[in-house]
Structure 1
């Protein structure tokens, strides 16, 4: 089984008008996706955002929980957050993975509005179990990832569906569900 990495794409993404923007980092996304990533054995959680103010915000949060007062208050939080890294772009995340593993990762996209050919989460789980390649699972923010980011994905997983046609999960909820389905224990 190869290593699994997670990327939260804040740029380039679309706003509700279809314009390319950078979205803001949220404290909840950092904490919750880092905790889910640690729980399911993700090697590194990349926050992809080139904005200097946003990068400084993430660094302050990480410093507080990994080295500052938060470390003594709740060491489990720091344990999860120590695997978070902020990078400028997707190419930088791929470069970091190459440094860690020696090979380029297979990039997998997730987006709710995808209606084309896709892998089931069961199929992706099978690939992860059989393949020694590293995988980078991308989650988007805003109103979705741009076409150039989507084109970098070798696979796209099917959207998470509930009981009806409504599917508008927070990215941290989607990340937790997907990680559980592809890396969690099978007995459910």
Structure 2
């Protein structure tokens, strides 16, 4: 099983449905890394094209991956050693291809129902049997762009609760999705 995750800050929508780059949130770095480590994800990519935000992500990672943070909290280091910050999704895909010897299958996530969605059960079985790596993409802001979603190999069904409210934080959605796809059954 070769599963990778990414949190994408561009291309995503803002609430006016404009394509934007969103701000880095350090909680997303920490929390998704901890979920990724818990579920055996091989790598976690922060896709952030804003130069100052990319610098901040790398500064935080250098502290936890090799600096004082590694000694201060080895459990946090254990999770954050999975993380790389890159400016564009193509950089993450290229890095995975170098590691795995083939391009990953791209899985988009969305809080909205889309055409071509696959169920958690279907994708769980595909991941278990497939020799290809998978890159699960989580959008920030108001979600991944339609173009990005439609260009994906798979579009995962949304997480739905018993109400019509569906606006989870990306770190909560990532944890739920990783558990549904990779958790023990």
Report the TM-score, using the length of structure 1 for normalisation.
0.95
Report matched runs for 1:1-188 at 5 Å: 2-186=1-185
For residues 68 and 95 of structure 1, the distance between their equivalents in structure 2, rounded to whole angstroms, comes to 27
Structure 1 residue 50, shift from structure 2 partner:
1.1
For residues 84 and 35 of structure 1, the distance between their equivalents in structure 2, rounded to whole angstroms, comes to 10
Say whether the 8 Å CA contact 2:107–2:134 is kept in structure 1: yes
Unaligned runs of 5+ in 2: none
For residues 146 and 159 of structure 2, the distance between their equivalents in structure 1, rounded to whole angstroms, comes to 21
Structure 1 residue 68, shift from structure 2 partner:
2.0
For residues 148 and 86 of structure 1, the distance between their equivalents in structure 2, rounded to whole angstroms, comes to 23
Unaligned runs of 5+ in 1: none
Query: SS at 2:84's partner residue?
Result: strand
Structure 1 residue 66, shift from structure 2 partner:
1.8
How many residue pairs match? The answer is 185
For residues 167 and 17 of structure 2, the distance between their equivalents in structure 1, rounded to whole angstroms, comes to 17
> In the TM superposition, what whole-angstrom CA distance separates every residue of 1:109-161 from its partner, at most 9, and x where no partner exists?
10001332311111110101111110010000011111331132111111001
For residues 157 and 122 of structure 2, the distance between their equivalents in structure 1, rounded to whole angstroms, comes to 10
Report the TM-score, using the length of structure 2 for normalisation.
0.96
> In the TM superposition, what whole-angstrom CA distance separates every residue of 1:3-27 from its partner, at most 9, and x where no partner exists?
0010111011111111111101111
For residues 145 and 79 of structure 1, the distance between their equivalents in structure 2, rounded to whole angstroms, comes to 29
